[in-house]
Amino acid sequence: MTPYLLIKVVWSFGLLVPTEEMAGADWRVVNAVTALLAAVGVALALAFTRPWGERLPVWLVALPVWVGTGLLVPMLPLAPLLGPAAMSRDQEAGSPDFWVYEQVLVMVSLVGVGVGLPLALVGYARARWPHALGGPLAPGGPVGGTRRLRVAPARAVAAGCVVLGGVKGYWAAGGVVGLDAGALERRDLWWHLLSASTAVWALAGAWAVLVLATGRGARRFVPPMAVTWVSSGMLFAYAVYGLLTLTGMQQPSPELPLAAAATREGGMVLGVTMGLTLLLVLHDRHAVLHDPRGASA
């Protein structure tokens, strides 16, 4: 995280930028924002390792970790391909050769955070909520709580994730319906990999959120919970990342405007709704494990 933070701070001042375009005010603002996010990551690392971290409000810890894990964890299996793809894209855009070395530092930092952040979260969660995350899918106790409230949205989210996953998988496999016929050359390796990753995590999220909401389909709680956490954060974070294509700070996408907006904003809504469903499940689970008599509706 430290090399990434230092690079972003330097770029925020317009120094050592790979292209003249990135020295502009808009890019410097983006770099300043990402530097702030990196600083938040450093603060979270301290919170995970110090006693005062367990006294922080839950949302102050959960929200940045949710976005961070959603953005970085799905990239880990693709890092060996995404790194060279990003370098190739930037070199084609006219970046100088030394940018390759800076890009390596950025990718190594992101991979390190992508591995360390979930591990740190697991340790933090076990220390702060030792009874809420482990054990069987259904912890016992009376049926009630928010079950009726969460099942219908979970089914709607699962259906939406299947549609989104199908569309992204179709595009990743070479389909052209919904794409701009005059911009098919923009379908580079980076775009194909992100489309395929979105498809996989959307379909995995559809399964996981249904399992959590209905309490059926798995024996242990952690696997569907972890998949729901990463999938919901990924759909939200990647949708926000996709907004950069509207500012000119990312290569324009090959999708038609309507298709791009539908998949982007649709992913954002699905991610948020899936995350809220997970919160309801965790609320009920906490109530049952701490006071089974108070969990009934």
Q: Which amino acid would we find at residue 33?
A: V
Please tell me the predicted confidence (pLDDT) of residue 53: 84
Please tell me the predicted confidence (pLDDT) of residue 24: 65
Q: Mean pLDDT by 10-residue block, N- to C-terminus, for the chain (297 residues)?
A: 69 68 66 75 80 85 88 85 69 59 69 82 81 72 66 94 97 94 87 93 96 89 93 93 70 88 95 93 78 46
Q: How far apart are CA 212 and CA 223, in angstroms?
A: 10
Q: How far apart are CA 171 and CA 158, in angstroms?
A: 20
Contacts with 184 (C-beta within 8 Å, 6 or more apart), sequence order: 176, 254
Q: How far apart are CA 112 and CA 243, in angstroms?
A: 25
Please tell me the predicted confidence (pLDDT) of residue 296: 42
